[in-house]
Chain A
């Protein structure tokens, strides 16, 4: 299973970025191959409107089954993500990626709307 995280940095020690649309990085952990990949989303800073939809397109291309974030996506992004085969978990704000993953495995995160 592939799990995506919105992150402020590039590795397991990075903090979860509580935002979705304007997140700095998207990290994807592939449980089957035990690999962590990183996509730099910081270009999103140039986007005036529609950051959520733009990042959603990125998520689509990365094709995870799970998305873990802090606050959750806004209206437009949520509408797009709902079209994908994706479960969203929120409440990981303040944790680092490792902790967020553990919290997910221990059912400590809330499923987003």
Chain B
């Protein structure tokens, strides 16, 4: 089974549109994992119906047992996040401000503080209106994506792909260059970078490549909206060649993308004649990369 991870430095380059189009082309021979949990918008195109749902726990928050609290205030004094305040003679933790560092837990003289695991979201395995399954997650308010959640989504998707005998796992990866991206990338057989010809996207791409090189994963790239700045597109193209990144396609700017999204569709459905051959070729090229 081949794992293809699709990433872009920051949002807005059309990564989700590319992932949906490729999923549409690949029909039933894949499982799709949406690891871009902070902006999980694949579901608007896939219309998932959850078959399985699992609670996701991550991190802790401090809780003070008022029965054991003597009101000494040591915890409030030490807390760097101003999360502990007096209330009715004892002390109370504000969950919103608590960062779960556990300092108060260690120093409380009466062991009145506990650190319960936090339920921060849900991980779903769903049927979709495409021919493939979608594994995705939803986070609660203020909860941040993490390497742990990405790993969970990917693991569930991988297990499903193996169980159903699918040849491909297509991952919509996390943005940025931190833990969630590392977790998105690790284990990948192929990385597909989606970029656009702007100065900020270009510098994001370079930083991303620095990270990917550490993993030694074969890489490919698509330049989206390539015709809005042919000069920068050309610069990126030369750089790709120099770095040994397979330049799979230049996609022209098109209102089809916006219209398709508004209609909850992939561009390949919105304007089949134009986009089906383009994405078919991209998918075929990806399949051949070793």
**Interface residues, chain A, with chain B CB atoms under 8 Å away:** 17-22, 45-52, 70-75, 78, 90-91, 93, 110, 112-113
Stretch at the interface among B81-89, B124-132, B184-192, B229-237: B184-192
Decide if B182 is an interface residue (CB 8 Å cutoff): yes
Q: Is the CB of B152 within 8 A of A45?
A: yes
Question: A21 with B189: in contact, given A48-B58, A112-B216 (CB under 8 Å)?
Answer: no
**Number of residue pairs A-B, CB distance < 8 angstroms:** 69
Q: Please report the total number of B residues contacting A with Cβ < 8 Å.
A: 22
Contact of A49 among B146, B189, B213 (CB under 8 A): B146
Closest to A46 in B: B148
- Give the secondary structure class of A's interface: loop
Given the interface pairs A48-B58, A48-B147, A110-B216, the reply to whether A70 lies near B152 with Cβ below 8 Å is no
Report whether A22 and B183 are in contact in the complex, using a CB–CB cutoff of 8 Å: yes
- Let me know if A45 and B151 touch, CB within 8 A: yes
CB-CB under 8 A for A52 and B58, given A22-B147, A46-B148, A70-B187: no
Q: A74 to chain B: which residues have CB within 8 Å?
A: 182, 185-186, 211, 214-215
Q: Is the CB of B186 within 8 A of A71?
A: yes
Q: 4 shortest A-B CB distances, which residue pairs?
A: A48-B146, A19-B186, A74-B182, A71-B215
A112–B213 Cα gap in the complex (Å)? 10
Contact with A along B75-100 (1 / 0, CB 8 A): 00000000000000000000000000
Q: Assess whether B217 is interfacial by the CB under 8 Å rule.
A: yes
Contact yes or no, A75 B214, CB < 8 A:
yes
On chain B, the residues within 8 Å of A93 by CB distance are: 189
| 30 chain-A/chain-B pairs, Cβ below 8 angstroms | A17-B187, A20-B186, A21-B182, A21-B186, A22-B186, A45-B148, A47-B147, A48-B146, A48-B149, A48-B179, A49-B147, A49-B148, A49-B179, A52-B182, A70-B187, A71-B216, A71-B217, A72-B214, A72-B215, A73-B214, A74-B182, A74-B186, A74-B211, A74-B214, A75-B182, A75-B214, A112-B216, A113-B213, A113-B214, A113-B216
Taking a contact as CB atoms under 8 Å apart, the answer to whether A47 and B182 are in contact is no
Query: What is the CB-to-nearest-CB distance from A65 to chain B, in angstroms, rounded to a whole number?
Result: 21
CA gap between A112 and B215 in the complex, in Å: 9
Look across to chain A and name the residue whose beta carbon is closest to the beta carbon of B58: A48
Could you tell me if B146 and A75 are in contact, using CB atoms closer than 8 angstroms? Answer: no
